[in-house]
Amino acid sequence: MTTSELRRAFRDAYGKDAEHVYFSPGRVNLIGEHTDYNGGYVFPCALSFGTYMLIAANGEKCLKFRSLNMPEVTEIPLNLLTTPLPARHWVNYPLGCIAQFVKRGHAVREGYDILIWGNVPAGAGLSSSAALEVVTAYAFNELLGTGFNRTELARIGQLSEQEFAGVRCGIMDQFASAQGKKDHAIYLNCDTLDFELVPVRLNGIKVVISNTHSPHKLDSGAYNDRVSQCQTALSELRSVRPELKNLAELTVEDFEKIGSAITDAVAYRRARHVVSEVARTKEAVSALRAGDIERFGKLMCESHISLRDDYEVTGLHLDTLAEEAWKIEGVIGSRMTGGGFGGCTVSLVRDEAIETFKQLVGQAYERKTGIRPDFYVAQISDGAREIND
């Protein structure tokens, strides 16, 4: 929908004009998966599609939430802004962000009418939840005049997801949505939150996202299980390296020396993925800076194999998309992106091979799964902002 169409929808819903329109993007992670909550490096970029929030003061003592993507209308009294709604209610994502402002001493003293619309495919692993969290954090940062920087807005989004949605997520998704820059990816140290904006120059190559239409559900428990398994591995490694803060501190060579301290076989594999993925991410960023896109693509493929075999978060749908992509001439690299358990793959595809890629990968995927995938040629975009047109 265009901004004018969204403004018209707000008038239809609330009988008045929106005072502000905010936007925050989804993201795709080029490499560095399941490393963020282990203190490692990630390499995401913001996308041109995301979540819009239209808002106007209502003179009442409540927040009214409507979404063009959801049927229900939800009203929250101002004295209940720190109380979560029942599990899996979509309003928990923005409400959790607003609660963070209240907990920091910034009371919401007037009510607002709010309309949400997003064009990030839900459940695709492109961070529709983070886009919703960050657009809320950005909007209320402006409305309340709190002056938080973009890194703090990302933290607010992360805490919302952890406390109100029950997902023990890292900060990558919210950080990319807040800090994104057009034609750049974010090389982020998730331990220190130091980051660099790295130009993504893909001459004659596009970022293509393939949607399995097998939605991932990070709140189903499997994601939180991986977090716990990594913590188990870290705890056992501390028996030989007491000073170890995060799994990501280990080099591959370190892990080969002390990994046997992990007695649980599953936890060992989870840790091995994290350590090798951090090394791959560092090498991939170096390769991109050096213009070695072929090496970058090979590391993407290695990342998927590790996520398949050691972290076990891919499954039939993601594996089929990635493995069929690897067969296509002109595909530089392909891997799952996001939390896994469904969602999307991200591929680097030469311009002249894009249509062949869509046709052959799409046909093979549909034969194996009975599902028709969707493909998006991604545009790398800016982070959260107010839209004034």
pLDDT tens figures, 54-78: 999 999 999 999 999 887 889 999 9
Dig out the tokens for 287 from the structure. 């390769």
Q: Hey, which residues are catalytic here?
A: 173
CA separation for the pair 11, 159 (Å, rounded): 32
- Phi and psi dihedrals of 230, rounded to 5? -65, -40
pLDDT tens figures, 324-337: 999 999 999 999 99
CATH of 3-199, one of 3.40.50.720, 3.30.70.1140, 3.40.50.970, 3.30.230.10: 3.30.230.10
What is the pLDDT at residue 276? 98
Neighbours of 214 (CB within 10 A): 20
Packing angle of the helix pair 150-164, 172-179 (nearest 10 deg) = 140
> Strands 20-29 and 44-57: what pairing?
antiparallel
Q: Edge-to-edge, what's the strand order for the sheet holding 184-189?
A: 41-42, 184-189, 195-199
pLDDT tens figures, 350-376: 999 999 999 999 999 999 999 999 999
What is the pLDDT at residue 127? 72
What is the pLDDT at residue 54? 98
What is the pLDDT at residue 253? 98
**Residues of the chain predicted below pLDDT 50:** none
What is the pLDDT at residue 339? 85
Dig out the tokens for 280 from the structure. 């791959």
CA separation for the pair 50, 25 (Å, rounded): 4
Dig out the tokens for 68 from the structure. 């063009």
CA separation for the pair 62, 75 (Å, rounded): 6
What is the pLDDT at residue 220? 58
Which residue from 199, 220, 206, 239 is spatially nearest to 347, judged by alpha carbons?
206
What is the pLDDT at residue 356? 98
In the chain, where are the structural domains located?
3-199
User: Buried (b) or exposed (e) across 272-300, using 16+ Cβ within 10 A?
Assistant: bbbbbbbbbbbbbbebbeeeebebbbbbb
What is the pLDDT at residue 128? 87
CA separation for the pair 136, 158 (Å, rounded): 12
CA separation for the pair 243, 241 (Å, rounded): 6
